[in-house]
Homo-oligomer: A and B are copies of this chain.
Amino acid sequence: MAKLTWGMIGGGEGSQIGPAHRLGAGLDGLFDFAAGALDHRAAEGIDYGQRLGLGERAYGSWQEMLAGESAREDRVDLVTIATPNATHFEITKAFLEKGFNVLCEKPMTMTVEEGEEIVRIAERSGTICAVNYGYSGYSLVRHMRAMVARGDLGKVRLVNAEFAHGHHADAADADNPRVRWRYDPAQAGVSAQFADCGIHALHMASFVTGQEVTRLSADTVSCLEARVLEDDAMVSFRMDGGAVGRLWTSSVAIGRQHGLGIQVFGETGGLRWSQEHPNQLYHMPLGGRLQVIERGEANLSPEADRTSRVTIGHAEGMPLAFANIYKDLAEAISARKDGREMDPAANLYPRAADGLRSMAAVYAVAASGQQEGKWLDARPPMFR
């Protein structure tokens, strides 16, 4: 596979997300970091980019980068967008329209309408538009999906997903600007905890079952009085393959450090996985015993094998899951360049339709929460 090139918007000096993406993209040596508009302050962005070795491809703004890269023969194969949420739509749209492949941080957009527009543009332009639901990159999450797909659980009846932590539980810290904006509609939109964390859990429910959410009912609450947006939500939902879903998300659940986990129950078995200990997957076949599937086992699915790097018994963590999204994208981009079918086991990166569905779910959760849990259609209009 020929080495690809990659650029980034956002992720400037001192950010967390910048190094995470550079690590993820670089981990397997599939992408060279070649361009960037790393800071909304032009001089700082160019300076930092040059220090990272980008040379003339360190740009002062995303607009300059769009112009500059569009003009090059060797334009970057992929652009990662890791800017503030409210700018994702505009930048993603602009790059897609110029034919760039994009990996956008979540949320892809701030509204459903914008999400639909992105989906349409991506389709029209024939480019890849991926959204960074990084937890779907874990090897054993891939294996869960493969097990369900090949029928190991029979028909899925029930899925229970959680993303409940306690990192915003401190009332004394609620006015800290770093926390407060998240619960302020003017800055965060219609939802806080569900939009920030809940959609990861909901995406995982879809990813693992291969089913999409159709309807939902939500109970959203603010456990800290000063907050307008919810810091805790319980969502019941239904999926298009018949599965029933339950999802709990919280930021006031003191004692849970991260709290993303999923349980899937089918006719002939159950699965359980937790992000805090991602190298084990618990499987109980109907009438059997609980078994521990280890990442790196021999004879797991192709989807698991290609996303596992170190031998069984050693831990892999979040950075490697993240890298798997880039690994998928490298395969997708390379296959297109080479005019071949991509490896189906890699064709699992979350895409614009997922970003759109999440946004539709966010609005449905917010609306249901305001209407005493009324069941609402959770699908974006274009998918109804």
Contact = CB atoms under 8 A, between A and B. Distances in A.
Interface of A: 3, 16, 19-20, 22-23, 26-27, 29, 52-53, 157-158, 160, 164-166, 169-171, 217, 219, 221, 223-224, 232, 234, 236, 244, 246, 248, 250, 252-259, 263, 265-267, 269-272, 275-279, 282-284, 286-287, 289-294, 297, 309-320, 372-375
A297 B290 CA distance: 12
A236 B265 contact: no
A320 B321 CA distance: 13
Nearest to A221: B244
| Number of identical protomers | 4
A313 B276 contact: yes
A309 B265 CA distance: 29
A116 to B, nearest CB: 28
Given A257-B294, A315-B278, A223 B158 contact: yes
Contact of A248 (B160, B269, B271, B318): B160
A313 B20 contact: no
A351 to B, nearest CB: 23
B254 A284 contact: yes
B277 A315 contact: yes
B170 A287 contact: yes
Nearest to A257: B313
6 contacts: A157-B223, A158-B252, A219-B236, A254-B286, A255-B290, A289-B292
B254 A270 contact: yes
A160 to B, nearest CB: 7
Contacts of A314: 258, 275-276, 317-318
A299 to B, nearest CB: 10
A316 B310 CA distance: 13
Contacts of A26: 26, 29
A258 B309 CA distance: 15
Given A160-B248, A315-B315, A255 B284 contact: yes
A259 to B, nearest CB: 7
A193 to B, nearest CB: 12
A239 to B, nearest CB: 12
Nearest to A237: B219
Top 5 closest pairs, chain A to chain B, by CB: A258-B313, A255-B284, A254-B270, A315-B317, A255-B270
Nearest to A315: B317
Contacts of A232: 158, 244
